Amino acid sequence: MSRGQSLSAGPNPGDRRAPDGRTWHQVFAGNDRVQALGGLRYPSGNPITQIGAPLAQGYDHSVTTTGSIPMPVRSFITEGAVIAHGLVREGLTPGRTSHQWHDIGGMSVASLDNDPATGAAGQVTPWQSAEYWLTQAMIAYRDAESVVVPRICFNQGEADLTRPRGWWRDAFRVTYGQMIEQIQRIVGQQTAPRLYLRQTGGYGHRGSRSNEIVLDQIEVVREWDGILVGPNWCHLVDNYDNRMVHMSIEGHIEMSEMYVWAIAEVESGRGWNLLPGQASRAGDIITIPISTRPDEELITVPGRYEGYGGDPAHLGLEAVGGQILSAAVSGENILLQVSGPVTAIRHAMQNSGVDYRTHLDANGYGYVEHRSLLRTTLTKTVTLGGQDFTLERWLPSFQVELA
């Protein structure tokens, strides 16, 4: 299942065409093994004809599905649509896969649970929509050899970016625990779905304020034995609405395909999470080990933000309680020369207040304020619609304390 707020819902590219001449909607449609449920309706009685719905309207729960249908990719190209397409393409699902997006843009993680007293006042529509859809899926696929929800792909956080440290973690525990219970109860599976999480990326203007949610997200990945797919800030954002939040179609495809790559690696027994270890200081040198794989090492990418407001200082690293004099990488380690009583190092957690809406390219695309020049050497190229997409493993936002 794919859950989250509007970054999970994805963009609507309209009639824009891929290099091979197809619309981007057509690129992700037309595979008989990538499906949705037919016959579903809004409470108004109108049919639901796209996968990026029903949003805040919810479903008409009195309707029974007519069965599985080819996935109708219209309007929004959801994260789940790209993931489902990729799972089938890469042979990561043995049979059919079905998807529908149940959530609402701008919703807090606390609005995705079943308690009307949390999150937006009285809001339980996303929970009810997932409950109904899972029940209908069991009807549509009742003749299948098995039905399973192996993973939850979770992309939410921008709505909660100003929350204090620990708030998002605690709210996520409730919401995600309920999602697991819901799936196991309705589907009947014993194994809990694996968590695949995107890390919140920050804003392109107005400041990201506390930024602490990104630390909560690393904590829940460790707590739930989850997979941190990658940070959202490394993908281009389209400023079409002057809000500088939502991905460009290219950035959205890259972001969604990162799930597919992560799933393939994890289910083949290879490592994925890029997380910081315990930082140490010897004299004026701080070393931060990163959990890279044996087939990759850290590299820097200077000039990445040329034309987009400029590269961040010190590769995107900041010192708390002192100063960074220089920053470099070696193998799996970040090496910092510092001065003063440094108590912590932060990475890609800038709160500059710069309005990056004024630093866009000719397409109106740009990057948000959380920025880094640190990724690994491991990449993958995926071709969709005649266009090559290079997937890269960027380090997440993090903070490490100095003993």
Among 253, 266, 181, 268, smallest CA distance to 221 is for: 266
Q: What is the mean pLDDT of residues 130-137?
A: 98
| CA dist., res. 324 & res. 342, Å (int) | 9
Q: Whole-model pTM above 0.95?
A: yes
Average pLDDT, the chain: 95
Angle between helices 125-140 and 167-187 (to 10 degrees): 30
Residue 208 confidence (pLDDT): 62
Return the structure tokens found at 310.
């400029």
Among candidates 208, 177, 252, which has minimal Cα distance to 25?
A: 252
Mean pLDDT within 18-47: 96
Mean pLDDT on 51-60: 94
Structure confidence by residue, pLDDT tens digits, 257-298? 999 999 999 999 999 999 999 999 999 999 999 999 999 999
At 114, list the tokens: 């079943």
- Looking up tokens 């819901």 gives 182
- Kindly list the structural domains of the chain, giving each domain's residue range(s) and its CATH number in brackets, ordered by start: 2-267 (3.40.50.1110), 280-401 (no CATH)
151: left (phi over 0), alpha (psi -120 to 50) or beta: beta
Strands of the sheet containing 317-320, edge to edge, are 317-320, 344-347, 398-401
Please say if the pLDDT value at position 219 is more than 70. Answer: yes
**At 398, phi and psi to the nearest 5?**
-160, 170
Question: What mean pLDDT do residues 124-147 have?
Answer: 95
> Which is higher by pLDDT, 325 or 209?
325
Question: Hey, which bits of 274-347 come out as E strands?
Answer: 280-282, 285-289, 298-300, 317-320, 323-330, 333-339, 344-347
- For the cut 80, the answer to whether the pLDDT of residue 207 exceeds it is no
Residue 374: in which H helix or E strand, if any? strand 374-384
Identify the pLDDT of residue 376.
Answer: 99
pLDDT of residue 96: 93
